[in-house]
Amino acid sequence: MNKTVERANAFIKEHSSKTEGRYRPRFHACVPVGWANDPNGLIFFGGEAHLFCQYNPYHPYWESMHWGHFVSRDLIRWDFLPVALAPDQNYDCGGGCFSGTALEHEGKLFLMYTGVAKNVQQQCLAVSEDGVTFEKAASNPVIPALLLPEGCSGRDFRDPKVFKREGIFYCITGVRDGKTGDLLLFRSLDLLEWSFVGRLRRGASSLTAASRAPTKEGAKKSRTCASCPFPSRTASSPSASFWTFRARKCS
């Protein structure tokens, strides 16, 4: 477990000057060195826009995901901050700190992310008071694979989207169920203790209708897995939630 935040930041400081040049982007969020993908946790906090991303500071390819961190006051010029998360715990050192959500609660900035250990993916929590330095929850993983319903695989259980409605926190995650994908709904009163509510694609008809997801029959034919769920609303239906998610072929 030597891939700590401190080690990552020291490596970036030592090597970032090697990537400066005339072709480096000036009006995009661009990591100083290494590999970046999947923007995570876009949020306004402390008067600034925060942008996180999947990040490997050590190599120009995907491996051992960290969370890179940028801030901006105009969404054009972005400053790179110290790495927010590194895979330094037994529940996230198997593959890294995968995608997730940022949200503000009681004046603090929380990150919910997928911790990838060997052969299992689970949802974890980190918190910051200053929006820069994050501390992982002692009770991680806060949504363990043990909460998964029968048939769902902890090997593909990731990308939590957390939101608050009427005083209750909800979390939607993608998961693999056999040869197809599913969306699961969890709830919590404090972000630390979570309970399983149901399936958004295979559960009660009201949940299935609200999710606007493809039919189970269509998913079986295409053998798709769902990940990166994200909520939105429309002007014509302001009280209804529509969920957008990424579909990919299941292995």
Catalytic sites, residue numbers: 38
SS3 51: strand
Q: Is 1 helix (H, G, I), strand (E, B) or coil?
A: coil
Pick the closest to residue 100 from 142, 152, 151 (CA basis): 142
Kindly report the backbone phi and psi dihedral angles of residue 4, in degrees, each rounded to the nearest multiple of 5, phi listed first. Answer: -95, 165
* 3-class secondary-structure state, position 178: coil
- List, in order, residues 6 or more apart from 163 with CB less than 8 Å away: 101, 103, 169, 170, 231
Rounded to whole angstroms, what are the CA distances from 217 to 193, 208, 220?
Answer: 34, 13, 5
Identify the H or E element spanning 217: helix 216-222
Decide if 216 contacts 201 (C-beta within 8 A). yes
Taking residue 148's Cβ as centre, other Cβ atoms within 10 Å add up to 19
